[in-house]
Structure formats: C-alpha cells, structure tokens
Structure 1
C-alpha cells in the first residue's frame, strides 16, 4: 500500500486554495489508477476551518488536524500516521499526472529499490489536471543514493520520490520543523541511506507556479528566515557527514557544496548584496563550507567557486545574478 501525504495550510479560508487541494486529491486518485490499495493523508497545519471534502467520501482519505508549525512538521505528522509500505509527498497546490504514479510503483516493486526518483514539470495550470504526452519512462541503472549524489546534482524537493517506509523507519528520518527549506536537509540524508535507488526524468509530478506561494514570495523577513534555515540545514548536513566518516560521503560533500553556492547566489541578488555577502561568507567559513571546494562538479560551479573568493569576482557574480533574477 502507498500513503500519499498532503500538507494543507489555508489560514484565510481562501476558496481558491481549497479548490487546489481538491485538485491535488483527484490527481492522486487518478495517478494511482490500478493500484489495489492506497491512502491519502490530508494534514491540516493549523488552518482556520476545515475544507469541504464531501465529494471524496468514497476515497480512502485520512484527515488530521495539528497546530501550525510549517510544512516539515505537517509532513512529519503524515509520516507518523501513515500505514503504507511506500510513502510519497504531494503539496496541496500541485498535482500528479494521470496514471504516472502507478507506473513508478510497479517499477519500484519489480526492481526491489528502496527509493525511486521521478521528474517534476513546472506548470501554470491553475484549475484542471493537465495531461501530458503518454510514453514509457526510462530509468537509470540502480545505484546507491550516495553514488547518485556523487554523479548528479541533487534537487532537494522531497515530493519527487517514492520512498520505502522501512527506509524512513529504520533511520528515523524526519523533516526540520518551522523551516522554509526542510527538503534540503531531509532529502540528502534519505539519499545517503538508500542502498538501491532508481531514477527517471519522466514527469510524474506537476509543480504549480503561482504568486504568493512559499517558494515565490520573498519579503525581507522571509529572506532572513530562509538564510537562517539554510545555515541550519548546512550545519545539520555537515554534522551528519562527520558522523559517517567511515563511509563514502562524496555525494554528501557535493550536496553541501551546491547548497552553500545556492545560498550565496540568493544573497548576491539582494540590493544590499555587499554587506549581506560578506556576512554569509563569514557564516559559511565558520562552518567549513567556504571557500567552495572545486571537485570538478561542473563548469558553472568551478567559475562560481573561483569568482566568489575576490571582491571583483563577487561584483561580476552579483551582476549575473541580478540579470538571472
């Protein structure tokens, strides 16, 4: 059985937000067509009021309310209440493509993998469940999660994985709570523990791009908290790596380096970038995450790591990041 965990937060009882939740639920049911047993856990993270879900009375929904403590806490509540031998996460404003999740479940069962990663496709579709061209997903050969992190850039989103419940239970995996970047700390640890990981870029998950979401909204207060959260995630990952020195951790080193680079990139887009960059370089240096280690990851990383060590280089990076933004 698979457990689909959907955190839900609607503090203003916005009708549009509730409609997106219903779309997410419908998409999960459609994407699991042919799967014998499943459950969908809706975790209300302290919204004012409850969504009206009468149309799903014949579906295996489990509805849970909890006090508000952000996305990571809601996902943890879902993990603790899930009954499936497989878990996956769906944000309430996103959706799955029809039948796609069922394909991945069959592949995971056939391969004996403990973790499967799939593609995410950005979409501006805000109402119906958009279809995608049918096709047969192709998968990389199985490898450990650490080997995958060593070879490829790891995108943090936890929503792009089918996860064996035993992988989570055996290692006590949980998300950071009260954080904007809970995925960036959870996903690398999950990957590190995976002994048989398979991956496809075939799009299974549609990420809805909209104004006002956690990702797109960018108030000064939120920027500061994201900065603090990133440093906290880096501290956790570095400590985690150092606890596992007897094992290969090249993949973790790559993820730590890229997370530090992305942190600096966001800082360089700010209007007060000079002071902010100096402060964050000091913070990263204290963690041992700066200067960035150039281990031949990519040309972009190599250029960034070299330019970030000088004032002139930081100015060039600032100009490039402002154009990117």
Structure 2
C-alpha cells in the first residue's frame, strides 16, 4: 500500500448538525497517512466549538478560522495550507467509504495518473442511500485530457470537487483555484484540472455519500445569480477549450444544455421560466455542436408540453419563489 501524504480539505459553514458523521468516516479510513484541514468559514452556529474539540483529539487535524469567504474561498485556503502529495475536498455534510483514500492513492500511484474520479451514492440518511443515476457510460480505466473533457461535456463525468482525488501540484503548478464570489464553483475548475493533466483515471467504485437532505446547502435553493455565475463559467470554459482543445469544442453544448435544463427545473413557476425556455430554444436552433440523445429527448418533451408533466409526476419540480 502507498504511504504518500494526502491533504483532506473540509470547508465548514454552519454544519454543527452534520460534521460528526463526516469526521467519523475519516476515522474509519483504511489509509492513515493524511492531514485534515478544517476551514471554518465564519460559522455563526456551534461549528467552531465542535471543530476545536475534534482537532484536539487527533494531531493530523488542523483548524483554520476565517471570515466568511464562501465555499470557494474556504477551499482555496485549504489549497494554500495543504502539504500533501495529493489533495481531496470533502464536503462536511457528506461522508466517505472507509476505503476511498486508500483505493484512490493506490490507483494514482499504480496507474501514474494526475487525478482519479470515482462514483457516488445519493444519501437520505446513514442507512438510506442509492447509487446515483445522473451519470453513466463512463468505463473504468484511463483517459487522455481530450477524452476526459469530452466525458465532462457529455455529462458522463460530474463537476464535483469531491468526486476526484488529485495531485496537489496539479492545482499549485497551474494556479488553479476555485472562483470566489460565484456559485457552481466546481464548474470553474474541473475543466482546467483535466486540461492540465497528462492522464486521468476513472475508478468504477461507489465511494462517496452525497447527502440530499441538508436544506441549507447551496444546491437545494436556486437564485437567478446561479444562472449568471454559470453563464460566466461557461464563457470561460469555451475560451479555454477553443485555445487549448479545439477538437472537443463542439461537445460543450451538452454541458450548457444540461445546466439550462437544471435551472429550468429549479426555477419552475417563477418569472425566469420563460426566458430559460427561450434560451434552450436558441441553443438548439443555433448550435453546430453534437447534441447528445439525452438532451434531444428532454427538448422533445419540452416542445410537446410533456416535460413538466413528467417532472411533476416524479416530484422533480415544484413552484416556489426564486430570487
């Protein structure tokens, strides 16, 4: 088994109700050579006190308290403070399988890749979870940057910081940080990590538990600013890909449509619904890209007025106020 140091960064903001479960999953890791950097991002609940108690029990744990900078700012502090060969970002309301760190480090070193992705569960509780069905058709194995970017744009890889473990130098040598002041910050970094890698791996194992019941999570509420932030992220991605990987530029349309449909679901019944539908129309009318089957089916349902009916029956949309 490899013994390289892994830096685990945990941004924490008002997670007093969840952090114990997250830390318990760290204590159960089969890999022991890691440091944990807790970044308390200006919490106003009992989070800081709990973290102080936690770090006092294990010399591998460190706590950094800072004024609130948002998720990106907290993760960026972790990047600057990390001292390991590898880095991993763990969200404090989620938890990980006991073998996650060991399996990923072994894979990184045996396959000589710069980063490795893995699969995850959608969790309702510690005992109630299921395999995610959002992403599919991503074979276990090695990917070139072109292949990995294609998988990302085709929505076969997800834009989640916690769904991969990477070399710390991949961030530091390329000046890669999470964009501060934006939501959907993972969207602004994953493509750069892939683009600056020599080789990427995908491990077909479910190693992460993505908790779905934290209603304070930014992914549970939607604001129009989310759309504006995502639009800026996508513009930056398009520029980077055109300059560095032009052969896969036509694939970006699928990621754009995936985000637009996501926002359409989240903004259902608001004043933004019509404008999002119009933008989806525009993408289909103007694109020269290769739209995948999944997005074509969604669009067909949207134009035949079946889209929201199906979403309602599945409980995937609900009317509500959107800011």
User: TM-score, length-normalised on structure 1?
Assistant: 0.79
Contact 1:119 1:202 (C-alpha < 8 Å) held by counterparts: yes
| Cα gap change, 1:284 to 1:239, in 2 (>3 Å) | farther
- Compute the RMSD of aligned alpha carbons: 3.1
Aligned match for 2:7, one of 3, 8, 24: 3
CA distance in structure 2 between the aligned counterparts of 1:171 and 1:184, rounded to whole angstroms: 17
CA distance in 2, matches of 1:114, 1:124: 32
User: Is 1:119 aligned with 2:115?
Assistant: no
State the alpha-carbon separation in 1 of the partners of residues 28 and 167 from structure 2.
21
Contact 1:3 1:88 in 2 (8 A): yes
Partners of 1:68 and 1:174 in 2: CA distance:
17
The size of the alignment, in residue pairs, is 297
Q: Where does residue 85 of structure 1 map in the other structure?
A: 85
183, 190, 193: which one aligns with 1:190: 193
More deviation, 256-265/193-202:
256-265
How far 1:166 moved relative to its partner? 1.4
TM-score normalised to the size of structure 2? Answer: 0.80
Cα distance 1:93–1:274, how it changes in 2: closer, same or farther (>3 A)? closer
Does the 8 Å contact 1:7/1:43 carry over to 2?
yes
Unaligned runs of at least 5 residues, structure 2: 132-137, 317-323
CA deviation digits over 1:139-190, x for unaligned, max 9? 7332223312324522111101111111112211111112221112211221
Counterpart of 2:18? 20
Q: Is the 8 A contact 2:41 2:74 kept in 1?
A: yes
Structure 1 residue 300 and structure 2 residue 300: aligned? no
Task: Name which of 209, 212, 216 aligns with 2:215.
Answer: 212
> What SS does the corresponding residue of 1:213 show, helix, strand or coil?
coil
In the alignment, which residue of structure 1 is the partner of 2:319?
none
- Distance between the aligned counterparts of 1:107 and 1:323, measured in 2? 42
Q: 5+ unaligned residues in a row in structure 1: which ranges?
A: 11-16, 133-137
Change (3 A) 1:187 1:45: same
- State the partner residue of 2:38: 42
**5 Å matches for 1:143-154?**
143-151=143-151, 153-154=156-157
1:156 alignment partner, SS class? coil
Decide which of 178, 193, 203 is 1:175's aligned counterpart: 178
